[in-house]
Structure 1
Amino acid sequence: MTDHVTDRIKARSWRESVVEYIRVEATPADKFGHQPRLYALAQQIAKGQDCDDDVLFAAAWMHDLGVFIGHRPSDPVELARWDHVPYTISRSRELLPQWGFPAEKLEVVAETIRTHEAKYTPLVPEAVVLRDADILEQLGAIGALRAFVKVGRDTRYATYSDVIPVLERALTVLPGLLQLEVSRELARERVAALRSLLEAIRAEAAGNLH
C-alpha cells in the first residue's frame, strides 16, 4: 500500500480506516463481501450477549487478512502449509492502534481472531459470536457461492466435483458446531437452502458433474 493511501486512512475514524484498508487489500475482489456480511451476522447474533462491539467490528473485518493475495505466500508449497491466523493477529496488533483503536482491547481482538474458525473452541463472548457467524457464512446460498468461486483458481478445487464434498461436509457437520441458540435458529433456513441446492445439482448433473 502506498504512503499516501496509508496517510489518507489514518485521517479517518478507526472503523472507516479498517474498512478502507480491507477494501484495498481484499484480493481477489470477491473476498471483500465476506467482512461486512460477517459483521452484520455477528451483530445479529450478539444481541443479548455480553459483547464489545468494537472488538466484534475489528475482529470481523480483520480476521481474514492473511488469506488475501499479497499477504499470503505465493509459492504453492508454502501456501499449502500457510496458517493465516498468526499473521493476521500480528498485523492487526500493528495496524489497529495506528488507526486509533483502543489499545486495551487489542488482546480480546487477537483472541477472537485466533478462534474464529469452526475447529477451535472460543473462550470469550466475542469469539463465540464471531465463530458462529463465520460458520453461518459457510452455509446456505452464500456458502455455496463462496465455495464455487474457488473452482479453477484454488489448487484444491480444479472442478465443481471437488467442491461438492466440502459443501456436503458443511451441511452435515457445521450446524452441530454452533454454540448459541440464535445461531442455530439462523442456520435452519441456510441449511435447508444448501440441502436443496445440492439435491438440485445432483439431479441436474445426473452423475456428470465435472
Structure 2
Amino acid sequence: MTPYRIAALAHAFAPHEGLAEALLPFATEAGDGAHDPAHILRVFRNAMRIHAEEGGDGRILAAAVLLHDCVAVEKSSPLRSQASRLAAERASALLAERGWSADDREAVAHAVLTHSFSAGITPETTEARILQDADRLDAIGMIGAARCFYIAGRMGSALYDVLDPLAEERPLDDRSFAIDHFPAKLFKLADGFQTATGRRLAAERHDRLQSVLDQFLSEI
C-alpha cells in the first residue's frame, strides 16, 4: 500500500490509529486476498467487539491483530503449521525496533503464536484468546465461505466432486474440493472458541455458514 492509503486506512483502527499507521506496512505480504488489509481490519473489529466485553490490554491486542499475518505461508505449503511461529518471531523483532519492552513483545508474540488453527497451541492470556476468536470469526459465516472459495481457487481446487459432493463414499479432500473444507475444518471452529463473547458470535456465523452450504448443495 502507498503511504497515503496506509494513513487513510489507519483511521479505521481507532483508538489505535498511530499504532496501525506504524505497523500496517508490515501487516501482510502481498498476493493473498484472504489475508489482506481488509482481513486485518475485520479481525481488528471482531477483536475490539470481544475486548469490550472480555477486557484485556487493548494496545497488546491491537498490535497482535496487526501483525498476526505478517509472514505469509500458503495453505499448501509444508511449512503451514509453522506460519504463526514465524509471524510471532517477526512481530517481536518489529516491536523491538520500535522500543517495545520485552514483556510487551512477549505478550504480542504469544497471541500471534497461538492464534492459528494449524499451530494447535492453547492461548494462555486474555489477549491471545481474543485474537484467536477474532481471527476464527473471519473463517466462518459469509466471509468465511467467500474466503474458502477464494483460497480454493488460488490452490487450483475444484468446487466439488461431481460424483460425490458430500463425500459419502470417499474421504474428505479439501485440497481437491472446496466444499470439503466446510466439514473438514470450518464446521469444527465454532466449538473451539475461547471467550463467551466469541462463542456467542461464532454460533451466529456457524448458522450462516451452514446456510451457505445448504443453498450451494440445493443448486447442484
Check whether TM > 0.5: yes
CA distance in 1, matches of 2:200, 2:210: 16
RMSD: 2.6
TM-score by length of 1: 0.78
Gaps of 5+ in 2: 8-16, 161-176
Q: Which residue of 2 aligns with 1:45?
A: 50
Count of equivalent residues: 187
Q: Which residue of 1 aligns with 2:11?
A: none
Gaps of 5+ in 1: 206-210
1:163 Cα offset (Å): 1.6
Q: Which residue of 2 aligns with 1:135?
A: 136
1:171 Cα offset (Å): 4.8
Q: Which residue of 2 aligns with 1:106?
A: 105
1:101 Cα offset (Å): 4.3
Tell whether 2:191 aligns with 1:176: yes
1:139–1:170 CA contact under 8 A, matched in 2: no
Q: Which residue of 1 aligns with 2:95?
A: 96
1:181 Cα offset (Å): 1.8
Q: Which residue of 2 aligns with 1:126?
A: 127
- Aligned letter for 1:174? L
Residues 150-189 of structure 1 aligned to structure 2 (within 5 Å): 150-154=151-155, 158-161=157-160, 162-189=177-204
1:124 Cα offset (Å): 0.7
Q: Secondary structure at the match of 1:80?
A: coil
2:27–2:69 CA contact under 8 A, matched in 1: no
1:25-83 per-position Cα deviation (integer Å, ceiling 9, x unaligned): 3422452121111111011111232311111111111111222xxxx48xx7xx32342
TM-score by length of 2: 0.75
Tell whether 2:27 aligns with 1:22: yes
Q: Secondary structure at the match of 1:142?
A: helix
Could you say if the C-alpha distance between residues 100 and 26 of structure 1 is closer, same or farther in structure 2, counting changes exceeding 3 Å?
farther
Could you say if the C-alpha distance between residues 29 and 149 of structure 1 is closer, same or farther in structure 2, counting changes exceeding 3 Å?
closer
1:154-193 per-position Cα deviation (integer Å, ceiling 9, x unaligned): 2xx5111212121224453111111222112112221121
CA distance in 2, matches of 1:164, 1:115: 26
- Aligned letter for 1:80? P
Identity of aligned residues (%): 28
Tell whether 2:90 aligns with 1:85: no
Could you say if the C-alpha distance between residues 101 and 36 of structure 1 is closer, same or farther in structure 2, counting changes exceeding 3 Å?
farther
Moved over 4 A (4+): 100-103
Tell whether 2:67 aligns with 1:62: yes
CA distance in 2, matches of 1:66, 1:20: 12
